[in-house]
A and B are shown apart, each in its own frame.
Chain A
Amino acid sequence: MSADATLPPARGRGGFLASRTALAVVIAAYTAYTLGPFLWLATMSVRTTGEISADHYAWPRPFHWEQFRIAWVDSDFATYFWNSTIVVVAAVAAVTLVGAAAAHALARYRFRGNRIIYGILFSSIIFPPQITLISLYQILVDYGLYNSLLGLTLVYVSLQLPLTVYLLEGFFARIPQDLFDAAKMDGYGDIEIFRRIVLPIGMPAIATTLILNFIQLWNEFLFAVVLITDPDKRTLPIGIRAFMGDHFQDIGMIAAGVMISVVPVILAYVFFSEKLIRGMTAGAVK
C-alpha cells in the first residue's frame, strides 16, 4: 500500500528522503502540466476579454458567469451544442445496436466466413480517414446528404462500427455457453436470446462502448468540417473553430465556448471514469 513497503530497506535514511522528495517534485510538476492548462482555460472562461488582456494569469474577480449566457445565446454555441447532441446521441445509439448484433453473431455462432467478416470489419480501424473521406464527400453530395445532420450521423456510425464490434465481440465471447444452451432448452428464439440474455449480461461492456463512442464522436472534427458547411448545422468542434476564425482576439468568449464543449465530456468522465479507462485499455492490453 504505502511507498515505504515497496522501497528497498537497505537504503540509508538520507537517500530515502531524497528519492521521495524527487518523486514528489516530479509528480507535482506533471500534475501542474496536465491540469494547469485546463484550469487556466477555466479561469479565462469567466473573465472578460478586456480583463484577460490586462493580465492573462489573474484570478477571476468578479466571476463573469454571464460569459456563458452570452456564448450560449449570442455566439450561437447553443445551436452547435444541440447539433452535436443530436448527431452524437443518434449515432451512438445506432452504432451500439448494430454493433452489438454483429458482435453477438460473430462471438456466438459458428459459420463459414466468421473470422473473415470479423477481420474485415476490424481491419478498417487502421484506415487513414482520407481513403474514405474524399469519396464520402462525393457520395453524400450525390444522395443529397451533404451538409445534413443525417448524413453526418450515418458517417459517424460507420466510423465507430469497427471499434464497437471489436470491444463487444471480445466481451460477448466470454459469456458462458451454458446460458445459451439453457435458453434454447427453454425454447428461446435467437432474437429473444439476444434481447433477454446478451444485452442484459453484456450491459457493462455496452456501457463502456457507449461512453467511449460518445466522447470520440463528440470530439470529432475532420469529417464534420468536410461534410458540414451550413453555419446552422455546425457541431461544437467546427463551431468553436469557426468562431475562433472570426473572433481571434476574443479570448474570453472562446474560452467560454470551449468550456461549454468540454463540460459534457468531463461529466461523463466523472461518473464513468472506470468504465471509460477500461474501454480504452481493452484494445491495447493483450
Chain B
Amino acid sequence: MAGSTALETEAAPLERAPAIGRVSDPRRASWLVLVVFLAPALVIYLGLTAYPAFRTIFDSLFTIEGSERSYVGLANYRDLLGDETFWIAVRNTFVWAFVAPILDVATGLLLALALYAGIPFSRFFRVAWFTPVLLSYVVVAILWMWIYNYDWGVVNEGLRAAGLDALTRSWLGDPNTALAALIVTHAWKWAGFNMVVCLAAIHALPSEVLEAAELDNCGWGAKLRYVIVPMLRPTLLNLYVLAFIGKMKVFDLVWIMTGGGPLWATETVSTYVYKRAFNWNTFDLGYPSAIATVWFGVVCAAVIVLNRVFKSRDRLEY
C-alpha cells in the first residue's frame, strides 16, 4: 500500500491537502529525492575515501616507482614480515594504544569527579582543563619540545631546582624515555576530552542512586568504587576504545617531536608509512601501501574485538 501512495505524493507534491484516505506514508520518498540528498555525500565518499582505500590495497601488490608499476604479488608482504623496523613500529604503537588510554581515561575520570564534587569556580576549571584538546598537534609538539629541552626546559629546570641534577636528561633524545615522554604529551592533550565526557555521563546518572549512597553514609572512596565506576562502565569502555583508535593512528606528534627517533624508539606505524612513502628516497609507493593495508586490517580487527569483549559482559541496567 505504502509503495503506490508514495508515488502519488511525489507526482503531485504541491497539491494542497490530499484527501484523508490518500495520505501517503511521509517517511517514504521517491528515488529522485533520495538521490538529490544522498548523491553528493556518496560521490565524495566513493571518490575520496572508498576508491583510494581500495586502490591502496590493490597497489600493495605492485612496486610503483613514478608512473612505472610492476606486479610483484605478495612480495611486499613477505618483505614486511622480515622488516625489523616495521615490527619495532608495531610494538611501539601497541604499547601506546593499549596502555596509554588507561592514563587518559583515569585522569579524565578523576578530573570529572573533582568537578562533580562541586569545587568552587568549577566552570573556570572545566574550561582550563579542556583547553589542550583544542590545540593542534603542531602547537602541542612545539610546546613540549621546549618543556623537555635539555638546557632550559621546565622538566630539567625543575629537577635542578630540586637538587636532582642526576635525573636531568635529554628526554626526547634518550631512547629509554622518548616514548614515555611522547605518551605523557599525548595524555596532556586528551585528558580534558575524557573529562568532559565523564562529566556528562556522571550528570546523566540517576540521582536517586547517588542520593541513596549518600543516605547510607557511603564515603567518597566507596561511592566511587561501588556506585560511580560500575555505572559509568559503558562510557569508560567507550572512551578507552576511542582513545585506542586515536593512538593507533598517532602521527603528527611523533613526526614533529622526534621523527621516530632516537634509534627507532618512538617509531610508529604511521610515521614509518610516511617515511617509506614520502620521506626516504626509496621512491616506491607499493611497499608503504602494503604496510597501510596491514595496519588497516589490524585497526579494524582490534576495534571489532574490543567492542565484542566489552559488549559481551552484561551492561548495567538502570
Contacts and interface: CB of A to CB of B under 8 A. Distances in A.
Size bracket of the A interface: 35 or more
Contact of A30 (B40, B129, B204, B234): B129
B119 A23 contact: yes
Interface stretch (B75-83, B137-145, B170-178): B137-145
Contact of B196 (A33, A99, A104, A281): A281
B80 to A, nearest CB: 14
Nearest to A31: B128
B238 interface: yes
Contact of A3 (B117, B188, B285): B117
Nearest to A32: B128
A78 to B, nearest CB: 18
Interface in A265-281: 265-266, 269, 273, 276-277, 280-281
A188 B242 CA distance: 41
Interface in A106-164: 106, 108-111, 117, 120-121, 124, 126-139, 154-155, 157-158, 161
Contacts of B33: 105, 109, 190-191
B133 A280 contact: yes
B217 A10 contact: yes
Interface in A235-260: 237-238, 240-241, 244, 251, 254, 258
Contacts of B88: none
Interface string B86-98: 0000000000000
Size bracket of the B interface: 35 or more
A69 interface: no
A269 B134 contact: yes
B197 interface: yes
B45 interface: yes
A277 B111 contact: no
B289 to A, nearest CB: 5
B290 to A, nearest CB: 10
A99 B41 contact: yes
A38 B182 CA distance: 18
A182 to B, nearest CB: 10
A276 B138 CA distance: 21
A187 B18 CA distance: 9
Contacts of B288: 130, 134
Contacts of A105: 29, 33-34, 37-38
A156 B264 CA distance: 31
A42 B183 CA distance: 24
B21 interface: no
B76 to A, nearest CB: 13
B103 interface: no
A98 interface: yes
Interface stretch (A59-67, A199-207, A213-221): A213-221
B239 interface: yes
A49 interface: no
Contacts of B128: 31, 34-35
**Residue from A3, A24, A129, A277 with most neighbouring chain B CB atoms (10 Å):** A277
B299 to A, nearest CB: 5
Interface string A19-48: 000011011001101111110110000000
B279 to A, nearest CB: 10
A130 B242 contact: no
Given A35-B128, A102-B41, A130-B288, A262 B139 contact: yes
B212 interface: no
A285 B146 CA distance: 35
Contacts of B18: 185
Contact of A34 (B118, B188, B204): B188
Interface of A: 1-3, 5-8, 10, 23-24, 26-27, 30-31, 33-38, 40-41, 56-57, 97-99, 101-102, 104-106, 108-111, 117, 120-121, 124, 126-139, 154-155, 157-158, 161, 165, 177, 180-181, 184-191, 194, 215, 218-222, 226, 237-238, 240-241, 244, 251, 254, 258, 261-262, 265-266, 269, 273, 276-277, 280-281, 283-286
18 contacts: A2-B118, A3-B120, A102-B42, A128-B249, A129-B251, A129-B270, A130-B288, A130-B291, A134-B59, A158-B47, A180-B26, A185-B17, A187-B17, A222-B270, A258-B139, A273-B130, A281-B196, A284-B235
